[in-house]
Amino acid sequence: RTRREGDRGAGGSGPLKTPLKMLDVSNCSLNHDDMAYLANSFHSYHLETLDLSGHDIPDLYPSTFFKLLSHSSSVLRSLILEDCNIQDRHVNMLILGLSPCYKLQDFKFLGNPLSSEALKHLFTFLCELPMLKNVEFPVPMDCYPIGISYPIDDASLCRFDHQKYERIAEELNLILLQGNREDVKRRLSLADFYSFLWIWQ
């Protein structure tokens, strides 16, 4: 895990002169200034792995996040955005941000309140990323009881309509097949059906 404090010279260590290739700041309570620093640093052009999980990206720093994503797009291989409050209305912007990330191999965004329609839209786009191998995403929000709050607590994770989930999973699989991604293998990831994992091999 890379500590952002080290990058900023906390504790008198001085700023890092070697570009960071991996940055994990999940659940670090980054504020707008922190994100702006990351987006404007020379490290942003070298990041191959980026984990921003646990931050409310759409509300706290949407523009600086996309600037960071744009800078790292030519080298980014792994992006983790779990529990980031990404909702249906944010999907189009997310797709725009991911479009130049042709080297992306792993994309994980568990715990975000997305509907099945939003996931279908996103799946259609994901078919276009040639290097993508692993995608982890949440059970669709419309499979859960109306009014469920996010992040979903452990006791409620598996309280969803499993039959509806399976129907949606088949529709997502059809999107992949129609996108000429017959090499897709579907696997369940994590316990209690919290997410599902598609692997391109």
Mean pLDDT score of the chain: 84
In the predicted structure, residue 190 carries a pLDDT above the cut 50: no
pLDDT (tens digit per residue) in 19-66: 899 999 999 999 989 999 999 999 999 999 999 999 999 998 889 999
Model confidence pLDDT, tens digit, residues 54-112:
999 999 888 999 999 999 999 999 999 999 999 999 999 999 999 999 999 999 999 99
Mean pLDDT of 197-201: 49
> For residues 9, 38, 101 and 176, what is the CA-based torsion angle, rounded to 10 degrees?
100
Domains of the chain, start order: 4-200 (3.80.10.10)
Q: What is the pLDDT of residue 186?
A: 54
d(CA 50, CA 110): 15
Reduced DSSP (H G I as helix, E B as strand, rest coil) percent helix, strand, coil of the chain, to 5 = 40, 15, 45
Question: What is the predicted pLDDT for the residue at 15?
Answer: 61
Contact 173, 146 (CB under 8 A): no
Question: Could you tell me which residue, 70 or 182, shows the higher pLDDT?
Answer: 70
